[in-house]
Structure 1
Amino acid sequence: MLDIFKKWSRTYLFEEESVLLLVLLAVAVALLVTIGDILAPLLAALVLAYLMQGLSSQLQSHGVPSWLGLTLSYTVFIGAFFGFTLGLLPLVWRQLLALASELPRYLDQGRQLLSVLPERYPEIFTAQQMNELVGRAQAEAANLGQVLVTRSLASLPGLFTLMVYLILIPMLVFFFLRDRQQIIDWLVRFLPEKRPLLTTIWGEMNQQFANYARGKVLEIIIVGSVSYLAFAWMGLNYAALLGLLVGLSVIIPYIGAALVTLPVVAVGFFQWGFATEFYTLCVVYLVIQGLDGNVLVPFLFSEAVNLHPVAIILAILFFGGIWGLWGVFFAIPLATLIKAIINSWPTPDMEPVAGPEATVSTE
C-alpha cells in the first residue's frame, strides 16, 4: 500500500506547485464546510464586488475614468441591494405568509377534486386513502403556517443579523472595489514566484467565472422580472413570490424549471380552475421558459459549458450540500474549475507549462 502511495505521489505531486494547489483546494473546502456560515457575508461581498468590477471595467473600456466607473458601479449596487432587501423581500415574505394561511383552503379544494378518483378507479384509490392523504397535507400546511407566523413574531435575533449584513456587505463591497489591486498583490505574495500551473488555471477560469456569474445574475433578474410582470398583469395571486421563485429556478439547470412549475400551476388552478385564465397562464409560463432556454441563455452565455449533464447534477448536489445556495449558484463554474485542474495537472511525461508570470485580474 505504501509503495502504491509513493508511486502516485511521484506521478502527480512531483512539483512544488502541485502540492501547493492541492493544499489550497483542501483548505478552501475545509473552510466552506466548517465555517462557511461565518464567512457567508465575506463570500457574498466578494462575489458581488466581482460582479460590480465587471460593470466598472465595461464603463472604463468606453472611456469613463476609473474613479467614475467605480462610483457608478457601486451606486448601481447600492440601489439594487437595498431595493431587493428592503423592497422585494418584505413583499415576498407577506405573500408567503398569506399563501401559508390559504393552504388549508386550497387543500380542501384538492380533496373535493380527489374525491372523484375512488368512484372512477375503485381498484386503485379508496375514499379512506384520499381522506388520510388530504388530512396529512392539511396538518403539514397548518404546521408550516404556524412556523412562519412564529418566526415572524420572534425574529429579533434574525432581524439584528440582517441589520448587520445590511451594513457589513455594502462596506465590504466598497473596500473590495476600491482596494482590489492591493488585496490581490498581498495575496500573490504568498504564492511562488514561478507559478505556471496556477497561471494556466486562473487564465482559463477567470473569464468563465466572470461570464457565468454575470450572465446568471442577469438571467435571474430578467426571468424573475418578466415572470412577475406577466403574473401581475394576469392578476395571479402571490405574483411577487412566484416571480421570485421562477427567477431563482434558473440557478438549478434541468431541475429548477420543473420544480417551480408545480406552485405556479397549482396557484393558478386553485384561483381560476379550468378557466381560460388558467390555460393562458400555462401558455405564458411555457413561453417564458422557452424564451429563457432558447434565446436568453445562448445570448448571455456565449461560451458553452462543456460538461456532461450527470457531472452538472453531481456538482449541484455536492457544492449545494457543503455551501447551500451559493454552492448551487456556483456549481457549474466550480465543476469547470475541477475539470480545468484535472486537465492542467502536471505529470512527468508532460512538457513544462510555459507562460509569463502570473498576473491576477478580475476584469
Structure 2
Amino acid sequence: MDNLFATQRWFLLVVFLVTGFLLYLLGPILSPFLVGALLAYLTDPVADRLELAGFTRTTSVVIVFVILSTLLTLLILLFIPKLSHQIQVMVRQIPAVIALFEEKVIPAIQAYLGEDISFGDLSTLKQLITSHWQKTGDIMAQIAGGITRSGLAVVGWFANLLLIPVVTFYLLRDWDVMIEKIGYLLPRNIEPKVSLWAKESDEVLGSFIKGQLLVMFALGVVYALGLWMIGLDLALLLGMLAGLASIVPYMGFIVGIIASAVAAYMQFHDPIILLWVGAVFAVGQALEGMVLTPLLVGDKIGLHPVAVIFSIMAGGQLFGFVGVLIALPVAAVIMVFLRHLHDGYKKSHLYGSEALELADIPEPVLEQEKNDDEQR
C-alpha cells in the first residue's frame, strides 16, 4: 500500500511538472483558450440555472452566449472610445494639477507648519509632461501602423480574437462533462480528497471572482453615474478607476475621492463641488457595506486582497499575460492546500502534545472552532 501511495505521488508530481512546463512553452498561443475558459467558468452557473428551468444544455449555452456577446460588443463600442478620450483629457490636465499643487497646496502646508518644505523640482516635471503629453495620443496610431506593416501580426491578432468566442462556446457547452471526466481520471483512492479540494478551491475562487469582482464593477458603475450626475467630465474614467482600486478594502474610496476631488476642482474651480464629490463616494460606501457586499459576496471567505495583488504580479512576472490569467486559480488552489496543511500540522505531533488530544474532540466541535477562527 505504501508503494502504491509513493507511486501515485510521483506520478501526480510528474503530471504537475509536465503541465507547468507545457504552459510555459505554449504561453504565446494559450491566451484565447484561457480567456475562453475564464468566461466559461464565470457563465456556467447561469447555464446550469437555465437547464434547471427546462432548457436543453445547448439552448442554455446559446442564450448565455448571445447575452455575453451583446454585453461585450456594447462595452467595446460605447465605453472604450469614451475612456480613450477621457484619458487624453486627464493627461492634458496633469500640468495644471501640478501648478495648482505648487502654487496653492505647498504654500498652505508651509504656512500651517511654519517652515519651508521641499517637494522637489516640480517645474521640471511639469515641463516634461507638457512637452510629451501629445505623444500619448499617437500611441494607438503607432500600434495600428506597426500591426498594418506586419501581415502575420494582423492574421494572428484576428485569429486570437475570433478564437475566444469559439472556445468559450464549446467549453461552456461541455463544461460539466469535462469536469466529470477529469474526476473519473483521478486514482480512486484519492478522488474523494481531490474532489473536496477542488470544491473548496471553486468556493474560494468563486467567492472572489463572482463576488468581489462584481462588487468592484458595481461600485465603478455607481461612482461613474454619481460623478456624471454632478457634471464631471472624467466621470467614467474616475469611476472605473475607483471600482478597480476597490480590490483592496477602502483603497477604491481613497483613490477615487482624491482623484475626483482634484479633477472636479480643476474643472469647476468651486470648493462647493468637493461636497458633492464626497456625497457620491459616501453613497457608494454605504451601498457597498449594506447592499453590494452582503448580496454578492456574503460571508464567504475568498482570496485576501494582498494575496490577489501578489499572485497577479507574480504570474505576470513569471509567465506574462498567461500568468495573469492563471494567477487567481493557482492562488485559490494554493490557499486551499495551505489551509489543509495547516490543519494537518495542528493535529500532528510536530505541533505539540495537545495536538494528540484533538483526535478525541468530536468533529462538530472542531468544525465550530474552525468557523469561529475564520469569522475572527
TM bin (shorter chain): 0.7 to 0.9
* TM-score between the two structures when normalised by the length of structure 2: 0.73
Count of residues paired in the alignment:
333
- Give the partner amino acid of 2:306: I
CA distance in 2, matches of 1:241, 1:147: 20
**Matched AA of 2:175:** R
Q: Are the equivalent residues in 2 in contact too, given 1:200–1:344 (CA < 8 A)?
A: no
CA distance in 2, matches of 1:187, 1:294: 40
User: Aligned to 1:171, which of 141, 166, 172?
Assistant: 166
Render the CA deviation track for 1:212-247: whole Å, top value 9, x for unaligned: 322234323322222221111110111111122122
Q: Is the 8 A contact 1:227 1:243 kept in 2?
A: yes
Higher RCO (CA 8 Å, separation ≥ 6 residues): 1
1:223 paired residue number: 219
CA pair 216-18 structure 1, distance change in 2 beyond 3 A: farther
Residue 5 of structure 1 aligns with which residue?
none
Distance 2:295 2:97 in 1: 39
Query: Of residues 44, 61, 73 in structure 2, which corresponds to 1:82?
Result: 73
Instruction: Tell me if structure 2 keeps the 8 A contact 1:17–1:197.
Output: no
Stretches of structure 1 lacking an aligned partner (at least 5 in a row): 1-9, 352-363
Conserved? CA contact 2:215–2:292, under 8 Å: yes
Q: Could you tell me the TM-score, scaled by structure 1's length?
A: 0.76
Structure 1 residue 319: Cα displacement:
3.2
1:151 has 2:139 as partner: yes
Residue 43 of structure 2 corresponds to which residue in structure 1? 52
Look up the match of 2:283. Answer: 287
1:237 lines up with 2:233 in the alignment: yes
Question: CA shift at 1:260, angstroms?
Answer: 3.7
Q: Deviations over 1:308-343 (max 9, x none)?
A: x6xx41452233232378977987765443232234
Q: 1:1-363 counterparts in 2 under 5 A?
A: 15-20=6-11, 22-23=13-14, 26=17, 36=27, 38-114=29-105, 116-117=107-108, 120=111, 123-125=115-117, 132-140=121-129, 142-143=131-132, 145-156=133-144, 157=146, 160=154, 163-181=158-176, 183-184=178-179, 187=182, 191-194=186-189, 195-253=191-249, 255-305=251-301, 312-323=305-316, 334-344=330-340
Q: Post-superposition shift, 1:286?
A: 2.5
**Contact 1:56–1:70 at 8 Å: present in 2 too?**
yes
Provide closer, same or farther for how the CA distance between residues 66 and 332 of structure 1 changes in structure 2, counting only shifts above 3 A.
Answer: closer
SS across alignment from 1:116: helix
Identity among equivalent pairs (%): 23
**SS state at 1:39 partner:** helix
Q: Distance in 1 between matches of 2:262 and 2:322?
A: 28
Deviation at 1:73, TM superposition (A): 0.9
RMSD (Å), alpha carbons: 3.7
Residues 241 and 259 (structure 1), Cα distance of their counterparts in 2 relative to 1, 3 Å cut = same
- Distance change (3 Å), C-alpha of 1:215 and 1:303: same
